[in-house]
Amino acid sequence: MLCSAGEFSDPQAPPASYRTTSQTDRQHQTGERATNEETDPANNSTITDLTFTCTTQTLTSAIQSAGRQPVWRYRYDGSFPNLQLFPNAGAFHSIEIPSVFGTYPEAGATADQISLSKYMQGAWAGFAKNPSGGPGWPKLGSALGAELGLLGGKAVPGGEQTVPLLTADYPCVLYDPILIATNMAYRA
């Protein structure tokens, strides 16, 4: 699960949360803009893992372990130039929505983007028609942890590859205790 990317006054500028403290201080002093090359990938990963990946992991695990209903997880890794807020933004929350509805800009669309969109539309429609059948990859607790649908990844950029949950969840070993201590973790 991801969060809203928000609106930026300058689509070429990375959001402030993607800049290091020294970059932000320098920008305040000089008025200059950070370039994408100056962003801090470790900071981005920490924010993403704490805010989205690990909270999603605790929520889906709680639902699954309570036996309330079947749960399927996916991670969207598709990154297409015609959907980027700034250069090399990568995949971010809600960027998959244009692919689900086929509303991505046709100008600059790649063959992988078109294929991924068709795949996602079929997966979402099939799931809506038959929820117990799932979206096309294993539900949680059914395949010994190989239960994450990776959409638009490097191995299958125009579709889905089922990968181990640990592909996404490995940082949660470190972050889950923080989420529990701050009452941000979900439990059954």
Q: What is the DSSP string of 140-177?
A: TTSSTT--EEEES-SSSTTSEEEE-THHHHTTHHHHHH
Confidence (pLDDT) at 7: 33
The reported pLDDT for the residue numbered 122 is 98
Number of domains composing the chain? 1
The whole domain housing 63 covers 41-181
Does residue 84 surpass a pLDDT of 60? yes
> Looking at the domain assignment, is residue 100 inside a domain?
yes
Structural domain contains residue 14: no
Res 124 pLDDT > 60: yes
pTM, entire model: 0.75
What pLDDT is recorded for position 88?
Answer: 84
135 domain-assigned: yes
The rounded mean pLDDT for the chain is 81
Is 103 among the domain residues?
yes
Q: Residue 115 has what pLDDT?
A: 98
Question: Do the domain assignments include residue 13?
Answer: no
Within a domain: 25: no
User: 174 or 16: which carries more pLDDT confidence?
Assistant: 174
Query: What confidence tier does 10 reach under pLDDT thresholds 50, 70, 90?
Result: very low
What's CA 5's distance to the chain center, in Å? 11
Reported confidence tier of residue 41, pLDDT bands at 50, 70, 90: low
Query: Between 172-181 and 54-66, two packed helices, what is the crossing angle to 10 degrees?
Result: 80
More confident residue, 121 or 19: 121
Has residue 32 got a pLDDT over 50?
Answer: no
Confidence of residue 39 (pLDDT cuts 50, 70, 90): low
Q: Which residues pair with 73 in a beta bridge?
A: 148
Average pLDDT over residues 58-77: 93
Asked whether residue 36 is assigned to any structural domain, the reply reads no
- For residue 175, tell me if it sits in a domain: yes
Q: Across the strands, what pairs with 46?
A: none
Confidence of residue 184 (pLDDT cuts 50, 70, 90): confident
